[in-house]
Chains A and B, each alone.
Chain A
Amino acid sequence: MNKPFNNKAWFFVLPVFVLVAISAIIPLMTVVNYSVQDTFGNNVFYWAGTEWFKEVLHSSRFHDALGRNLLFSAIILAIEIPLGICIALTLPKKGFWVPVCLILMALPLLIPWNVVGTIWQVFGRADIGLLGNTLMRLGMDYNYATNVFDAWATIVVMDVWHWTSLVVLLCYAGLVSIPEAYYQAARIDGASKWKVFKYIQLPKIKRVLLIAVLLRFMDSFMIYTEPFVLTGGGPGNSTTFLSIDLVKTAIGQFDLGPAAAMSLIYFLIVLLLSWVFYTVMENYGAEKQDPRVEQD
Chain B
Amino acid sequence: MAQITLDNIAHSFNPYPGSNADYALKNIDYQWDDGGAYALLGPSGCGKTTLLNIISGLLTPSNGRVLYDSNDMTLLTPELRNIAQVFQFPVIYDTMTVAENLAFPLVNRGVDRSEINKRVDDMLQTLELSDKANRRAQGLTADEKQKISLGRGLVRYDVSAILFDEPLTVIDPHMKWQLRTKLKSLHEQFGHTMIYVTHDQTEALTFADKVVVMYEGNVLQVGTPEELFDQPEHTFVGYFIGSPGMNIFPASINGQTLTLGSNNVKLSKGYSNLNGKTEVGIRPEFISLASKEKAGTRGMKFKLDTVEDVGRLKIVRGKIEDVTVNVIVDEDDSIPTEPYAVFDPERICVYQDSFLIRGDA
Q: Please list the residues of chain A having a beta carbon within 8 angstroms of any beta carbon in chain B.
A: 179, 181-182, 184-185, 187-192, 195, 199-200, 203-204, 285, 288-289, 291-292, 295
Contacts and interface: CB of A to CB of B under 8 A. Distances in A.
Interface in B89-125: 89, 91, 93-97, 104-105, 108-109
| Chain A CB within 10 Å, residue with most, of B94, B95, B152 | B95
B258 interface: no
Given A181-B89, A181-B91, A291-B134, A190 B96 contact: no
B9 interface: no
A189 B56 CA distance: 12
Contacts of A190: 78-79, 105, 108-109
B153 interface: yes
A39 B142 CA distance: 66
Given A188-B78, A190-B109, A292 B136 contact: yes
Contacts of B89: 179, 181
Contacts of B109: 190
Contact of A203 (B56, B87, B94): B94
Nearest to B152: A189
B87 A289 contact: no
A184 B87 contact: yes
Contacts of B79: 187-188, 190
Given A190-B105, A191-B108, A192-B108, A292 B152 contact: no
A185 B87 contact: yes
Given A188-B153, A190-B105, 8 more contacts: A185-B152, A190-B78, A190-B109, A199-B95, A199-B96, A203-B93, A289-B135, A289-B136
Interface residues of B, number: 29
Contacts of B96: 199
B149 interface: yes
A212 B196 CA distance: 42
B141 to A, nearest CB: 14
B277 to A, nearest CB: 41
Contacts of B108: 189-192, 195
A200 B104 CA distance: 13
Contacts of B44: none
Interface string B134-167: 1110010000000001001100000000000000
26 contacts: A181-B87, A181-B88, A182-B91, A185-B85, A185-B87, A185-B152, A187-B58, A187-B77, A188-B58, A188-B78, A188-B79, A188-B84, A188-B153, A190-B79, A190-B105, A191-B108, A199-B95, A199-B104, A200-B93, A203-B93, A204-B94, A288-B97, A289-B136, A289-B139, A292-B135, A295-B135
Interface in B230-261: none
Contacts of B85: 184-185, 188
Nearest to A284: B95
B83 interface: yes
